[in-house]
Amino acid sequence: MNDSQYEDLTDALLLAIEDAVEKVAEDSGLDIEVESLGGKLDLLFPDNSKIIINKQPPLHQVWVATRFNGHHFGYRDGLWFDVRSGAELKAFLDEAVSRQAGADLKLSL
């Protein structure tokens, strides 16, 4: 993938995550705030914890930091996968958002 393709993919990904989190927060009644700025997305939870999702252009990766750990995701076969564990980003985010919100939540990505 070239830099332009990476930027297009990650811009679309961050927007989709932002929309999905806002929808699940509205549907569940949970107060999860979303802040987006320059290739970085912060998800703010009622307990003052955060999930930070940001682009890493030099590596063509997306990094996700939760209160529990951090992960680096690379793109292959049309999906984002953790470069260490192989976990797929959507499933990882569902679990991470659920853990930090204290509720079983599924993002529509």
- pLDDT at site 88: 96
**Architecture field, domain 3-100:** 2-Layer Sandwich (3.30)
- pLDDT at site 48: 92
Using the structure block, give the residue that is written with the tokens 């569940």: 28
Cα 104 to Cα 95, 96, 97, 100, distances in angstroms: 8, 10, 8, 10
- pLDDT at site 108: 83
Q: Where exactly are the structural domains of the chain?
A: 3-100
Over 90: is that where the pLDDT of 42 sits? yes
Model confidence, pTM:
0.90
What does the pLDDT look like over 74-107, one tens digit per residue?
999 999 999 999 999 999 999 999 999 988 888 8
Cα 23 to Cα 70, 72, 101, distances in angstroms: 24, 25, 14
- pLDDT at site 33: 94
- pLDDT at site 104: 87
The amino acid occupying position 25 is A
